[in-house]
Amino acid sequence: MIEPINIFKYLKQNDKIMREEYKPFILIFNFLIIPALFSLFFTLLLIDSTFKVIIDSSIPFFSIIVGFLINVLILLINTKKITKKEMESLSKNEATFEKKKEQLRRSLSYAVLTNIFFGFFLILIILFYPVLKFDIDFFKPIILFVFGYFIISLTNILLKFGVYIMSRFEK
C-alpha cells in the first residue's frame, strides 16, 4: 500500500548526509558566499528595467526546471532499495558499493527536494513582488541570491544524478 511521504522526517535524515558530504567551508562557500557575490554583482550591474525583463522571462524556465526536479524526486523515491537480507548475501565490496549508492541516492534526493523548495520560493517571489508594491531595490538582491543558489544547486544535482545513473549500470 502506498503511504504519504513525511517530508520533515526525510529532511531530518538527509541533513546528516549533507553535513557528512560537504566540509563546512565548502558548503558555506558554495551555497552562501557565491550566491551572495552573484547577487551583489548583478544588483549593482543591472538597471531596473533590464532586471524586470530578465525576471519576467525566467518564470517559465524555473517552472519547467521545478517540474523536472519533481519527476527526478519521484524517480529516486521509487527506486528499489536493497533489503538487509539481500545486503548480507553480497560480498564485502558489493555491500560497500550498494551502501555508497544508497547514500548517493539519499543525498541526491535531499538536494532535489531543497532545490524544489527554493524553486517554488523563487517563483512565488517573482510572481508576487509587483503585487506587494515593494520597491524593486528591496526584492532585487533577494531574487538574485535565490537565483544564484538555485543555479549552483541545480549544477550540483546534475553532477550527482549523472554519477547515480552510471552507478546503477555498474556492478
Q: Is the pLDDT of residue 109 over 60?
A: yes
**Across 115-144, average pLDDT:** 78
Mean pLDDT, rounded, for 102-122 = 82
Q: What is the pLDDT of residue 37?
A: 92
pTM to 2 decimals?
Answer: 0.75
Q: Look at residue 157 and tell me whether its pLDDT is greater than 80.
A: yes
Give the mean pLDDT of 66-84.
80
Whole-angstrom distance, CA of residue 120 vs CA of residue 50: 23
How far apart, in whole angstroms, are the C-alpha atoms of residue 106 and residue 77? 9
Residue with the bigger pLDDT between 38 and 102: it is 38
In this structure, are residues 67 and 119 in contact, taking their beta carbons and an 8 Å threshold?
A: no
